Each structure stands twice: as structure tokens, then as C-alpha cells.
Amino acid sequence: MYRGRFAPSPTGPLHFGSLVAAMASYLDARSQGGEWLVRIEDVDTPRNQPGAADSILRTLEFYGFEWDGPVLYQSSRFEAYQCALEKLRRARALFPCACSRKEVGEIYPGTCRNGLPPSREPRSWRLRVDDDPIRFNDRRLGAQEEVLSESVGDFVVKRANGLFAYQLAVVVDDCWQGITDVVRGSDLLTSTARQIYLQTKLQLPSPSYLHLPVAIDRTGDKLSKQTKAQPIPTSEPAAVVTLAEAFEFLGHTPPQPFHSIKDAWAWIKPIWETGNIPAVRARSISHA
């Protein structure tokens, strides 16, 4: 049974990029008779914005999304993450690390891999990686390969501030929720090899992956809450236009303007083809 999900971080209101991710995962699930779940990824508590989770859920509802079952909040799952961490620790896959983010740079140089340097205190827990290539097939982008020792090195699974890393939380929850298909933005493509590696270490199944084109603004920056992507409108005429823009972004050009949100979904649902999503290019859209 197909089971997909949309997993927003509550760091701000829903913007066009997240609408596109929600829409593609929703339509991919529904077109295959599958279930679609919503998970609020509030694991990085300092980045959570008060009220953002509720606002995201209200906006999804307003736009006509219908999810199955209760919304899962990662903030309620710390015990499960701790269990996974213990499992990795028992398998000797982890080591304590004293390095600060500044000391590390892009690829972890292995400073604490064989023990903490003298008089340094442990801060985070890192997962040891190796030189074996991680291979997976992205449903849109095709065969992918990444050697973690060359791209990121040993990576953090529990952070210096005591919080669990996104990579660990997402893998534990995707498995626990029985997710078979992940459809999300290409900004997360570089996380996928780490997640597959974690799945192997934790002996969990891997879902299939599809990474979407990233919505960029007119200056070529990724639309995100950080680059101050505007919230999508939450009143009817404007929202109907936004829905049509998102369909278009995903390779389904509406023949004429829609009258209502209901109308828009009624058009897309029977004709949706995940294969129509543009192959490579991120498109500039008018929302920035």
C-alpha cells in the first residue's frame, strides 16, 4: 500500500515551494490510491516559530488538502529517536565529538573519530561513514550515487544542544509511519544518501524517493522561509491563482482559469501524471 507524506518544518507560514512539495506528494499518493500523511517536523525547537504549525495546517486545509490520520509532531517522538541513537551506539557506529561547527567546515575531517583530543569535552554524537558509494534511484532524476566520506564525512545525529538531528528524526519517523514514497524538494537530495545510510545502519527499509524541481525567485535564490519567501495567499480568488501556478510549475498547465479551489482539484486529480513534472529546470515564478 502506497503511503506518502508531507513533512513541513514549522519555521514560518506555508510558501510556494512548500505548497508545491505538498501538492506533488499528495497527488502522487492519491493517483495511486495511496494514503497521505502530514508530519510537523518541529525537532529543531529553537527554529520553530510560535503558531507556524497551526498556520501551516490551516493553510493546507484551506487549499483543500485532505490528510489521513492524525498529524504527527516530531516533538512527541524524542523517546523513539533516543532508542535509535542507543541502537547505533550499541552497534559502535557512533562516536562523541568535541568539535564546534566552525571547527568542522563542510566535510568532517575526522578529528574525534578515534577518540576525543586531550582535555576536550564531548558535544555531539556523530555517525561513522565509510567509502562505499550509496546508490539510489530517484524517480525523476534517475540513478544517484554519493560517497559519504567524500561529501560530508561522519555526520551529526545528536547535536551539541541536545537535540536530535533532522537526518535521524526523519528516518525513524518515515519508517514508523510506514512511508513507502517520499516526494519532496530537490534541496533535500543531498540528505538522501545520509538517510539511506542511516536506514541500513538501523536495519530499516528505504522508501522510494522523488525530488522535485526547486522553486526559485527571480534572483535565482531558493524560495524558503530564510530567503523570506512570501506566505501564499489564504483568500479565495488569489489562492485559486496560486493553485494554478503550482499545477503549472509541476508540468500541468490549466486550460483556463479555475472558478474555485474545488474546481482546481477536480481538474487536476483525474489527469495528474507524476511523469509530467519537468525534468531538470527549476522555474522562476511570480511569487518572489
Regarding 7 and contact with ligand GLU (CB under 6 A), the answer is: yes
- Alpha helices (H) in the chain, listed in sequence order: 16-31, 52-62, 78-90, 101-104, 148-151, 166-176, 189-201, 236-249, 261-271
Regarding 217 and contact with ligand GLU (CB under 6 A), the answer is: no
Distances (CA, A) of 118 to 110, 112, 261: 15, 10, 62
Among 3, 4, 9, 272, the residue binding ligand GLU under the rule CB under 6 A is 9
Least CB distance from residue 45 to ligand GLU, whole Å? 14
CA atoms within 13 Å, Cβ hemisphere of 240: 14
Regarding 170 and contact with ligand GLU (CB under 6 A), the answer is: yes
Can you say whether the dihedral through the CA atoms of 146, 171, 11, 3 is positive or negative?
positive
3-state secondary structure of 223: coil
Regarding 184 and contact with ligand GLU (CB under 6 A), the answer is: yes
Regarding 148 and contact with ligand GLU (CB under 6 A), the answer is: no
Cα separation, 278 vs 253, whole angstroms: 12
Residue showing cell 526559485: 216
Single out the segment in contact with ligand GLU by CB under 6 A; choices: 2-10, 84-92, 236-244, 274-282: 2-10
CB of 9 or CB of 242, closer to ligand GLU: 9
CB of 124 or CB of 192, closer to ligand GLU: 192
* 269 close to 27: Cβ distance less than 8 angstroms: yes
* 4 close to 31: Cβ distance less than 8 angstroms: no
Regarding 134 and contact with ligand GLU (CB under 6 A), the answer is: no
Regarding 152 and contact with ligand GLU (CB under 6 A), the answer is: no
Among 4, 8, 12, 13, the residue binding ligand GLU under the rule CB under 6 A is 8
3-state secondary structure of 85: helix
3-state secondary structure of 212: strand
Least CB distance from residue 104 to ligand GLU, whole Å? 22
Regarding 188 and contact with ligand GLU (CB under 6 A), the answer is: yes
Regarding 53 and contact with ligand GLU (CB under 6 A), the answer is: no
Among 41, 42, 154, 217, the residue binding ligand GLU under the rule CB under 6 A is 41
Question: Which residues make up the interface to ligand GLU (CB under 6 A)?
Answer: 7-9, 41, 170, 184, 188
